[in-house]
Amino acid sequence: MLDLKQFEAWFIAGSQYLYEEETLLQVDEYSKIMANFFNNSPQSKNCIY
């Protein structure tokens, strides 16, 4: 079995200001939802997102 503790993963989300403010707020909201999912996952208890 592969030992995933030897790896480091980064979660980066962003957008460009070429989009309307509503789109940027949606990207922000979805990024927070995904980060909360990973933070609450038992498989990633030693990770910070």
- Which tens digit of pLDDT belongs to each residue from 3-48? 767 777 777 877 777 888 898 899 899 989 988 887 787 776 655 5
Token digits of residue 16: 């460009």
Is residue 13 packed enough to be buried (19+ CB in 10 Å), middle (13-18) or exposed (0-12)? exposed
Q: How far apart are CA 37 and CA 31, in angstroms?
A: 10
Whole-prediction pTM value?
0.60
